[in-house]
């Protein structure tokens, strides 16, 4: 099986994939998180592997296990994810499927925060996390193809196009994650592939199928 896989169209290519949520600590026992399952990121890593790529899979604490046959770098926070991604460069392509926390708590408490009768409730102060996709899109070792995701709950295409321009990536895979779609955490995805060439609307498909189509497009692009 290995011989067959390493002969695919992505043979000899190194591709980075980020996946899952990040966890941002509040104190030693609490954190801020989001609902990303890591399913789409794991499926993309597996599909790229199946086309023969060497895959570095940088994952936050996802409920979906990483696929076999990829190099797994497990991280917790956005800052750790950025460091792991930079350490994995150079790469021929990078796919940023992680749901990175936009904010972290400004000063993590060194000890568990305790209730105190009559005391005022705690107020968390936040600060912005580094934007991994934007950083890598403008990096000295920028991969030839940089693919971002855009999770939106309204005006999906316009928001995603603005995001592509702002972040400086080549493609954006945009999806509507509003609760009514059931996308977030579900087994299917309905995405729009946004590139220089315009907007492609893909049908609602199982996440592994979205991953295979994206991997095929990446292979075409890197050929
Ligand atoms: N991303 C990232 N680092 C961050 C935030 C986002 O690498 N700190 C990446 C995601 O992995 C995704 C893309 O940027 O590929 C877009 O993420 P998204 O959350 O949709 O966009 P934001 O720029 O964070 O904007 P907002 O959440 O306000 O819509
Ligand atoms: Ca965000």
Per the domain annotation, does 134 fall within a domain? yes
Per the domain annotation, does 115 fall within a domain? no
Per the domain annotation, does 185 fall within a domain? yes
pLDDT tens per residue across span 82-133: 999 999 999 999 999 999 999 999 999 999 999 999 999 999 999 999 999 9
The closest of 101, 138, 144, 120 to 14, measured between CA atoms, is 144
Bridge partner residues of 128 (DSSP): 103
Number of domains in the chain: 1
Task: Kindly report the protein residue whose alpha carbon is nearest to atom 17 of ligand 1.
Answer: 150
Q: How many residues does the chain have?
A: 223
Per the domain annotation, does 149 fall within a domain? yes
Domain of residue 144, residue span: 2-106+124-222
Ligand nearest to the CA of 133: 1
Q: How far is the CA of 101 from the centre of ligand 2 (A)?
A: 6
Statement: residue 150 has pLDDT above 90: yes
Count how many Cα atoms sit within 13 Å of the Cα of residue 21 in the half-sphere of its side chain.
19
| Integer Cα distance of 193 and 175 in angstroms | 9
pLDDT band at 182 (very low <50, low <70, confident <90, very high): confident
Write down the ipTM of this complex: 0.98
User: Is 129 a pocket residue for ligand 1 (Cβ < 6 Å)?
Assistant: yes
Per the domain annotation, does 113 fall within a domain? no
Per the domain annotation, does 130 fall within a domain? yes
Atom from ligand 1 closest to the CA of residue 147: 15
Going by the DSSP 8-state scheme, the letter that residue 176 receives in this structure is E
Q: Any idea what the CATH number is for the domain that residue 181 is in?
A: 3.40.50.10300
Per the domain annotation, does 111 fall within a domain? no
Per the domain annotation, does 68 fall within a domain? yes
Atom from ligand 1 closest to the CA of residue 160: 20
Q: Is residue 34 flagged as an active site residue?
A: yes
Atom from ligand 1 closest to the CA of residue 78: 8
User: Is 58 a pocket residue for ligand 1 (Cβ < 6 Å)?
Assistant: no
Ligand nearest to the CA of 174: 1
pLDDT band at 35 (very low <50, low <70, confident <90, very high): confident
């Amino acid at each position: 099986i290995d011989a067959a896989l390493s002969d695919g169209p992505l043979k000899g290519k190194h591709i980075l994939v980020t996946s899952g949520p990040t966890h941002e600590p509040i104190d030693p026992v609490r954190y801020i998180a989001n609902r990303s399952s890591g399913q789409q990121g794991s499926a993309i890593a597996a599909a790229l592997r199946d086309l023969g790529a060497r895959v570095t899979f940088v994952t936050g604490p996802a409920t979906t296990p990483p696929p076999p046959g990829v190099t797994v770098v497990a991280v917790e926070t956005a800052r750790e994810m950025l460091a792991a991604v930079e350490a994995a460069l150079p790469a021929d392509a990078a796919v940023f499927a992680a749901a990175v926390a936009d904010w972290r708590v400004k000063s993590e408490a060194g000890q568990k925060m305790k209730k105190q009768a009559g005391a005022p409730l705690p107020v968390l102060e936040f600060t912005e996390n580094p934007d991994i996709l934007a950083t890598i899109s403008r990096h000295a070792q920028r991969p030839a193809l940089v693919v971002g995701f855009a999770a939106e709950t309204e005006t999906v295409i316009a928001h995603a196009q603005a995001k592509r321009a702002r972040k400086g990536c080549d493609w954006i895979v945009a999806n509507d994650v509003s609760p009514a779609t059931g996308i977030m955490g579900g087994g299917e995805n309905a995405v729009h592939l946004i590139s220089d060439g315009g907007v492609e609307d893909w049908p609602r498909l199982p996440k592994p199928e979205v991953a295979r189509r994206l991997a095929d497009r990446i292979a075409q692009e890197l050929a």
